[in-house]
């Protein structure tokens, strides 16, 4: 039996609380984030075109995905072509085609059939783009009243954003428009990564199960005066950073006068 996966745990939590929308949302979040192995009808070859193996069941058509290679092998019982893609990419491939997902079928307790409506919903949810607005911050204060589920979801999302920003601050804000709310301010974000970071925050908000919730996102340079203010009142998230390679020069044999070369 393969080691328990994050998707297994999310499925178990969902089964244990069938009435909780938040548990179902967390399962779909893990499905979207996980690398899944999609069974193919034929080898993909050198091109980008993949042809999934489609199975006709009583309630519709399904393709099969597994979150471990060995699980796919256990199900198939023989070598079969496959491709590794994230759940979000697979949902995008299948959306609108009337094809559902068979997840880990016959190999784990987390086996599940997701009908095509669920796949379409997942793709639509992942594709939601936040609105861009401009407003001036007039006051900042510590974040308050936010559900723990959102803090946990943000922490999980930002932990995967390695090297995309230095850190982020969650703060309460008041705007010159009279509005109040919360803002997640990224510091020293890679310009090309700003859209991805904004979308990650939107997904954290969606999959944390908060109804009618809103969270603004801003981007700041490390030297901006506002960053020092955010550091005083905000909840800080440190993003993992890429490690610089350490270079060491090995001296040539005999170059150290204190360590003469050994002679034979």
Question: What does the domain layout of the chain look like in residue ranges?
Answer: 6-126, 137-238
The gap between the terminal CA atoms of the chain, to the nearest Å, is: 55
* Angle, CA 143 vertex, CA 142 and CA 148 arms, to 5°: 140
Looking at domain 6-126, its CATH class is alpha beta
Reported residue count of the chain is 264
136-194 pLDDT, tens digit each: 899 999 998 888 888 988 998 898 888 999 999 999 999 988 888 899 999 999 999 99
- DSSP secondary structure letter of residue 52: B
Phi and psi, residue 135, nearest 5°? -155, 150
152 to 146, 161, 201, 204: CA distances (angstroms): 11, 15, 12, 9
Average pLDDT, the chain: 86
31-87 pLDDT, tens digit each: 998 999 999 988 866 556 788 999 999 889 999 999 999 999 999 999 899 999 999
Phi and psi, residue 148, nearest 5°? -60, -30
Per 3-state DSSP, what percentage of the chain is helix, strand, and coil (rounded to 5)?
35, 25, 45
Q: Which residue has the tokens 């996102």?
A: 217
Determine the pLDDT at residue 263.
43
Q: How far is CA 20 from the centre of its chain?
A: 22
- Tell me which CATH code domain 137-238 carries: 3.30.70
Beta strand residue intervals within the chain, DSSP E = 35-39, 54-57, 60-66, 82-86, 99-103, 112-114, 137-141, 167-175, 180-187, 216-220, 235-238
Q: Is the pLDDT of residue 20 over 90?
A: no
Q: What is the DSSP string of 88-145?
A: HHHHHHHTTTTEEEEESTTTSTT-EEE-HHHHHHHHHHHTPPPPP----EEEEE---S
């Amino acid at each position: 039996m393969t080691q328990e996966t994050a998707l297994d745990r999310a499925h178990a939590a969902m089964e244990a609380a069938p009435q909780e929308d938040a548990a179902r949302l967390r399962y779909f979040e893990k499905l979207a984030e996980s690398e899944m192995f999609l069974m193919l009808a034929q080898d993909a070859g050198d091109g980008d075109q993949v042809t999934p193996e489609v199975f006709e069941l009583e309630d519709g058509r399904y393709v099969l995905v597994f979150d471990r290679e060995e699980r796919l092998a256990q199900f198939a019982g023989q070598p079969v072509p496959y491709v590794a893609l994230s759940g979000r990419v697979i949902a995008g491939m299948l959306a609108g085609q009337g094809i559902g997902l068979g997840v880990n079928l016959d190999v784990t307790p987390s086996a599940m059939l997701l009908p095509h409506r669920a796949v379409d919903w997942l793709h639509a949810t992942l594709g939601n783009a936040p609105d861009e607005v401009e407003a001036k911050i007039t006051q900042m204060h510590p974040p308050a009243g936010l559900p723990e589920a959102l803090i946990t979801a943000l922490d999980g999302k930002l932990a995967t954003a390695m090297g995309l920003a230095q850190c982020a601050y969650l703060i309460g804000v008041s705007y010159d428009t009279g509005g109040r709310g919360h803002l997640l301010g990224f510091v020293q974000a890679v310009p090309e990564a700003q859209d991805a970071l904004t979308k990650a925050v939107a997904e954290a908000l969606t999959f944390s199960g908060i109804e009618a919730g809103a969270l603004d996102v801003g981007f700041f340079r490390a030297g901006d005066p506002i960053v020092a203010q955010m550091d005083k009142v905000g909840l800080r998230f440190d993003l993992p950073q890429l490690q610089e390679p350490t270079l060491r020069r090995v001296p040539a044999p005999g170059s150290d006068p204190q360590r003469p070369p050994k002679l034979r």
